Structure 1
Amino acid sequence: MKTLKEGRSLNQTIYARIRELILTGQLIPGNKLKISELAHRFDVSLNVIREALNRLAGELLVEVAPQQGFSVRGLDADDLRDLTEQRILFESIALRKSIATRDVEWQARLVAANHRLVHTPQTLAEEPGKLNPGWHSRHEDFNFIMMENCGSDWLFLMIKQLAEAFSIYQRVLLPVTAEEGERNADHNELLEAILANDADRATAILTEHLNQTRDVMLNALNAVSPGKKASFIP
C-alpha cells in the first residue's frame, strides 16, 4: 500500500508529464483528453489522471466542458491577443526592474545566453521548415534570464506561466519565415539596449518583437481556422 508521500509524488509526476506533453505540443491543442487512455498510457488510476487534468484546467492549459470531459485548450485569436498584451505588461515591468538592479553576473549570464541562442540553428536540418526545439529552448532561456533579475518571485512566476502558454501557439503556428540573421539581429539589438542601461529602448524593442510575433501567428491561425477556436490533428 502506498504511503501518503508516495501518492503525492506519483500525482505530481503524472501532472508534470501531462503538462510537458501539452507545452511541447505532443498533446494537440483542441483535442479531447480521454482519462482512460491516459491512465493506461501512464499505468496509473483514473483518479490520478483526473486530479492532474483538474490542476491543468486551473492553469488554463486544459478545458472542461459539461458532458464532454477534458480537452487540451484550443488556440483562439482573442486568447492570443490577451496573452500578448499581458506578456508586454508584465515583462516590461520586469525588464525595467532587472536593468535597474543589474550587476556584472546577471549581464554575463545574459550575454552567454544570447551567444548560445545565436549559435543554435533555428530550423531542423532534416526539416528546414520546422522550428528547432533546441532553438526554442534557448530563446526561452534568454527571455527568462532577462526577467529573473526583477527581484520579485511572484512577477517572475507570472511571466513564466504566460510565456509557457504563449509557446504553445509558437510551436503550432509560428512559421520559420524570417532569416536567422534577422532574428539574431533583434536579440542583439535588445541585448545592446540592456547593456547600455537604456530601459526605454529595451522595452520598446521587446514590445515590438512580441507584437510582430503575435501578428504572424494571428495570420497563421486565421488561415487555419478563421473566426473560431482552432483544433489540430496530429
Structure 2
Amino acid sequence: MKNAKNGRTLNAEVYAQLRAQILTGQFMPRQRLKVSQLSEQHGVSLNVVREALNRLAGEQLVELQPQFGFAVRGLSAEDLVDLFEQRGVVESLALRQSIARGDLNWQSDVVAAHHRLGGTAVVSPDDPQKLNPEWLARHEEFNLVMMRACGSPRLLQIVRQLAEASAIYQRALLPLAAVAAELETEHDDLLQRILDGDADGAVRVLLKHMEQTRDAMLPFLVQQEVAGQA
C-alpha cells in the first residue's frame, strides 16, 4: 500500500476510512483508537494514522486525552441539546434559502430523495430494536437534498457536519428505532410544504421534527450517563 500510492493520497484515504468507521458506528463513542493497531490494520506508518486522527479531532469526531491517547468522542446530554439547537438555526436558514432559490430540478431531487426514504424500512431487518443503517443513510440524504439549493457551499458544509454528528447519536441510541418510525410521517408534511413554497410552514415542521427527535434520544442518553456508559 505504501509503495503504490503517494503520501498525500495515502493520508487522505486513511483519514476517509477512519472517518467512515466513526460515522457508521464501527467505532463506538469513547472507544480508544490505538495508533499502533490502526497503523497495522491499514498498513501505513504511525505518522499517517496520527495525522488522520488529529484531523478528525479538529472535526470533533475524535478526542486526544492526556496519558490516554486518541478516542472516539463521547456522547452527552449537554452536547446533544447544543447540537440540535445549532442544527435548528443553521438548517432553518438553509431550508428557507433553498425554497426561495430552488428550481424544478431541485424539487424533483427532493421528491426522489423522499421516495427513496419512504421505500426503506426504518427498523433493522437483523434487530427490531435497532435503526436500519440504510434508512438512516436515506434520512441523511433527504435532509441534505432539501438544503442543497441554498446557494452557499459554506452553509452546506456546516449543515453536513452537524448532520453527521447527529447521526452518531442516532446510531448509538439504538432504542430510537420505534420512535423514528412514528416521526417518519412528518417527512410527508415537510415535502408538501416545500413543494408549496411555504418556507415558514416547512421550517416549523422541520424544527418540530428535530425537537421530537432530540427529546426521544435524551432519556436513553441520560440513562447511559447515569450508568457511566455514554
1:63 counterpart SS class: strand
> Residues 81 and 153 (structure 1 numbering): CA distance in 2 closer, same or farther, change over 3 Å?
same
For 2:142, the equivalent position in structure 1 comes to 142
The two structures have a TM-score, normalised by structure 2, of: 0.94
Structure 2 stretches lacking a partner, 5+ long: none
The 5-angstrom pairing of residues 65-76 of structure 1 reads 65-76=65-76
For 2:179, the equivalent position in structure 1 comes to 178
For 1:155, the equivalent position in structure 2 comes to 155
For 1:110, the equivalent position in structure 2 comes to 110
For 1:120, the equivalent position in structure 2 comes to 120
Take 2:49 and 2:156, find their aligned partners in 1: how far apart are those partners? 28
Residue pair 2:123, 2:178 contacting (<8 A) in 1 also: no
The two structures have a TM-score, normalised by structure 1, of: 0.93
Count of residue pairs the alignment pairs up: 227
For 1:196, the equivalent position in structure 2 comes to 196
Structure 1 stretches lacking a partner, 5+ long: none
Residue pair 2:183, 2:209 contacting (<8 A) in 1 also: no
Take 1:195 and 1:201, find their aligned partners in 2: how far apart are those partners? 11
Q: Which amino acid aligns with 1:23?
A: L
The 5-angstrom pairing of residues 6-85 of structure 1 reads 6-85=6-85
Identical columns (%):
52
Q: Which amino acid aligns with 1:40?
A: E
Q: Which amino acid aligns with 2:105?
A: E
Residue pair 2:76, 2:225 contacting (<8 A) in 1 also: no
Q: Which amino acid aligns with 2:30?
A: G
Quote the RMSD (CA, aligned, Å).
1.6
> Residues 169 and 185 (structure 1 numbering): CA distance in 2 closer, same or farther, change over 3 Å?
same
Residue pair 2:179, 2:216 contacting (<8 A) in 1 also: no
Residue pair 2:63, 2:70 contacting (<8 A) in 1 also: yes
> Residues 186 and 10 (structure 1 numbering): CA distance in 2 closer, same or farther, change over 3 Å?
same
Take 2:126 and 2:78, find their aligned partners in 1: how far apart are those partners? 34
1:11 counterpart SS class: helix
For CA contacts below 8 A with separation 6 or more, give which structure has more relative contact order.
Answer: 1
Take 1:150 and 1:76, find their aligned partners in 2: how far apart are those partners? 31
1:64 counterpart SS class: strand
> Residues 179 and 215 (structure 1 numbering): CA distance in 2 closer, same or farther, change over 3 Å?
closer
Take 1:217 and 1:76, find their aligned partners in 2: how far apart are those partners? 11
2:177 counterpart SS class: coil
Using the TM superposition, name which of 167-176 and 81-90 deviates more. 167-176
- How many Å apart are 1:183 and its aligned residue? 3.2
- How many Å apart are 1:178 and its aligned residue? 3.2
Take 2:116 and 2:28, find their aligned partners in 1: how far apart are those partners? 29
Deviations 1:150-174 (A, max 9, x none): 0000000000001001110000115
- How many Å apart are 1:115 and its aligned residue? 0.8
